[in-house]
């Protein structure tokens, strides 16, 4: 199991305790080299729900890694006042599926330009640091940070790692395709509050990337020849992210699951409890209008190993989840349209259900009609998303400045406080989605 799980146990206890599930296990002889059938067996025994956390208003605003009064966890989360400094890691230029959103990977550094371990403590470096290319377990090249000794020997280091998404150029006038800088922060926060597994994404005031070019993703930057003491490229509109803390279960080098396979399990293979959980998950995804359902964004993971040891060969708590929630708060791509993100006028037209029915507007390759028990389950959890909480999440994700078209419309209307008005529109519509889920009738008994 990843070593940093032990370090952030207090924070994770709030949001990633043992799942609400039947507890079916699956055999995992090697978590990185499962057969397709072994991975499918884990999916067959998987759950989607975690216990719902009880959170203060401060925790909701600060995020899942925040622990009040514990400065040792400060390296785990970021605020609008932070501008972390990190060292570029060559990564996406070598990825088989790099995606489209503008991003880079990097290793965070402290004020003295020293590297941090996954426990947040400075790494002991006796030589000079350098970046070399290594081949990972999946056969892809990746940047590796090494400590080069005087005799030329290279010692591999295990630093903390971040994913940074950025806008280019910063607004006004940015491409709404890159609004994942904002949407992912909001979506991961909503899913965490509801008790679903999600990455931890934070809005930051900026990020300084040492060794980055001005356009590291667009230019497919393949190396880092910089030194930690160098001045870096500063990106002004960013989100900073760590992936969910559970171990990937890979078949053929991939941890993906396909919506069609899951739909088959839903029809024949899952228990009633699992079907209800999956319907509740699909309802939650409709709240945010997740609309780019491709397998590459899905994950099979192990949340708990037998005897807390990933060498045990048995996963006691397999889980499935959508790992990339950036394609949200917009609408699906039409023949001549765009697959938009964070565009208010598009999201405002997207309801949870087809009018007057309990059939999902976008069922994600599954049964359009959901179980009434799933509706009741999610309604109970939605009690934690009252209006002040929803507005606080949208604010921390900067939805009050994300959609430049919305901002211009409100400005042209001479609204006294444009940001407050934008925030109100997003919140009003979200609350109407919650009301829709609560009031719909005719769901499957």
- Are 303 and 319 contacting, i.e. CB atoms less than 8 angstroms apart? yes
pLDDT, tens digit, for every residue of 248-259? 999 988 889 999
pLDDT at 140: 85
pLDDT at 23: 53
pLDDT at 15: 28
Cα–Cα distance measured from residue 344 to residue 96, given in angstroms and rounded to the nearest whole number? 32
pLDDT at 1: 39
Phi, psi at residue 105, to the nearest 5°? -105, 150
**DSSP per residue over 361-373, as a string?**
SS-TTS-SBPBHH
Q: How many CB atoms lie within 10 A of CB 378?
A: 24
pLDDT at 335: 62
User: Which stretches in the chain have pLDDT values below 50?
Assistant: 1-21
CA angle 431, 437, 442 (to 5 degrees): 155
CA dist 243 to 105, 207, 247, 367, 401, Å?
12, 18, 10, 29, 25
For strands 85-89 and 103-109, give the pairing: antiparallel
Cα–Cα distance measured from residue 49 to residue 43, given in angstroms and rounded to the nearest whole number? 14
**DSSP per residue over 249-285, as a string?**
--BTTB----HHHHHHHHHTTS-HHHHHHHHHHHHHH
């Amino acid at each position: 199991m990843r070593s940093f799980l032990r370090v952030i146990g207090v924070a994770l206890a709030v949001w990633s305790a043992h799942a609400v599930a039947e507890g079916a296990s699956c055999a995992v002889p090697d978590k990185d080299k499962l057969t397709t059938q072994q991975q499918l067996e884990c999916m067959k025994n998987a759950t989607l729900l975690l216990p719902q956390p009880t959170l203060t208003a401060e925790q909701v605003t600060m995020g899942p890694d925040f622990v009040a009064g514990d400065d040792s966890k400060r390296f785990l989360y970021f605020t609008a006042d932070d501008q972390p400094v990190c060292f570029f890691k060559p990564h996406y230029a070598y990825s088989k599926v790099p995606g489209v959103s503008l991003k880079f990977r990097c290793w965070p550094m402290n004020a003295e330009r020293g590297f941090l371990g996954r426990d947040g403590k400075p790494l002991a470096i006796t030589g000079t640091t350098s970046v070399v290319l290594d081949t990972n377990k999946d056969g892809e090249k990746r940047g590796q940070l090494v400590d080069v000794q005087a005799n030329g020997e290279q010692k591999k280091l295990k630093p903390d790692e971040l994913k940074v998404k950025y806008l280019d150029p910063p607004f006004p006038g940015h491409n709404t395709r890159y609004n994942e800088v904002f949407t992912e922060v909001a979506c991961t926060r909503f899913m965490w509050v509801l008790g679903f597994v999600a990455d931890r994404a934070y809005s930051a005031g900026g990020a300084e990337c040492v060794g980055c070019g001005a356009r590291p993703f667009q230019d497919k930057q393949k190396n880092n020849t910089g030194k930690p003491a160098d001045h870096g490229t500063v990106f002004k509109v960013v989100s900073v992210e760590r992936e969910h803390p559970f171990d990937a279960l890979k078949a053929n080098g991939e941890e993906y699951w396909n919506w069609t396979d899951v739909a088959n399990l839903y029809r024949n293979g899952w228990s009633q409890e699992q079907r209800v959980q999956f319907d509740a998950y699909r309802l939650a995804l409709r709240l945010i209008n997740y609309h780019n359902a491709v397998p590459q964004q899905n994950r099979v993971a192990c949340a708990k190993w037998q005897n807390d040891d990933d060498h045990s060969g048995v996963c006691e708590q397999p889980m499935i989840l959508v790992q990339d929630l950036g394609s949200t708060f917009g609408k699906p791509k039409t023949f001549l349209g765009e697959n938009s993100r964070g565009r208010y006028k598009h999201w405002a037209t997207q309801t949870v259900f087809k009018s007057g029915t309990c059939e999902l507007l976008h069922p994600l390759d599954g049964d359009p009609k959901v179980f009434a028990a799933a509706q009741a389950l999610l309604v109970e959890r939605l009690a934690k998303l009252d209006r002040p909480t929803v507005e606080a999440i949208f604010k921390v994700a900067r939805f009050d400045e994300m959609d430049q078209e919305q901002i211009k419309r409100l400005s042209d209307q001479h609204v006294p406080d444009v940001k407050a008005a934008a925030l109100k529109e997003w919140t009003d519509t979200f609350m109407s989605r919650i009301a829709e889920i609560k009031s719909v009738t005719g769901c499957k008994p």
